[in-house]
Amino acid sequence: MLTITSRENPQIKQVCGLLSSSRRRRKEGLFVCEGFTLLEEALHRGVEPRAVYCLEDQAHRLPDLNCPCALVSRPVLEKLSDVPAPQGVVFLLPLPPAEECLSGSRFLALDSLRDPGNMGTILRTADAFGLDGVILLGDCVDVYSPKVVRSAMGSLFSTRLYAMTAPQLRQQLDRLSVPLYAAALWPDSRPVTGLDLKRSCVVIGNEAHGVSDETAACCAGSVIIPIQSAESLNAGVAAGILMWEMRRC
């Protein structure tokens, strides 16, 4: 097995580039994951790594792999990690092929969601509640950035992801006879308890600006989550409540 001790090694520079650049990730078709738990989850879901970099004293924890593996020193692993305490192994996975045609009846759309923690939490919750897909609208944070990957905790491997415009989404939903609702504080918004969401797609807007005008124009109506005193809910929390309602109906 190859041993790498230089932080300037070309392979190490490649991983660092993938960590820091969404453009590089798209160009090379790869993204970076970290940790033995996530590695096991990827293998369990049938996703094979393209390369693995493991601490020398953690090599005994590696499963049988059909890809290039390298042992690295701690300083090298620290360069490959974006957390203060690296988890012992970093690996590269292929970007999954883009989903294009919606199928199913329960979806969540994210309109220019920018916070990596919110995105990861929503993907993990969508996986837990068995949604048929998560649609990315506008300028969303890269779902394959390190912070999102870490927050999603393996749900990237099983959640169907789509990227499209709001008019394209409306067209596909019309084909499925699935209504599109905005989660928004509009004058005619209906309480979530007053809507049947078992066949629906609900849009969560940008953390600062809410649902965009383009997306709002494509919605059949809007839904609110009744709250008592706080001004609003965190996007990840609101999405979780709405997805629970989709499952409960």
d(CA 13, CA 78) in angstroms, rounded, equals 13
Pairing relation of β-strands 133-137 and 180-183? unpaired
pLDDT at res. 92: 98
d(CA 70, CA 236) in angstroms, rounded, equals 37
Rounded to two decimals, the pTM is 0.93
| Residue found by looking up tokens 């890809």 in the block | 67
- 92 is written with which tokens? 């590269």
pLDDT at res. 1: 81
> Is there a contact between 198 and 106 (Cβ–Cβ < 8 Å)?
yes
Closest CA to 110 of 230, 217, 197, 238: 238
Pairing relation of β-strands 51-55 and 89-94? antiparallel
pLDDT at res. 232: 82
pLDDT at res. 231: 76
Closest CA to 2 of 84, 88, 71, 61: 71
| pLDDT one digit per residue (tens) for the chain, 249 residues | 899 999 999 999 999 999 999 999 999 999 999 999 999 999 999 999 999 999 999 999 999 999 999 999 999 999 999 888 899 999 999 999 888 899 999 999 999 999 999 999 999 999 999 999 999 999 999 999 999 999 999 999 999 999 999 999 999 999 999 999 999 988 899 999 889 999 999 999 999 999 999 999 999 999 999 988 777 899 999 999 999 999 986
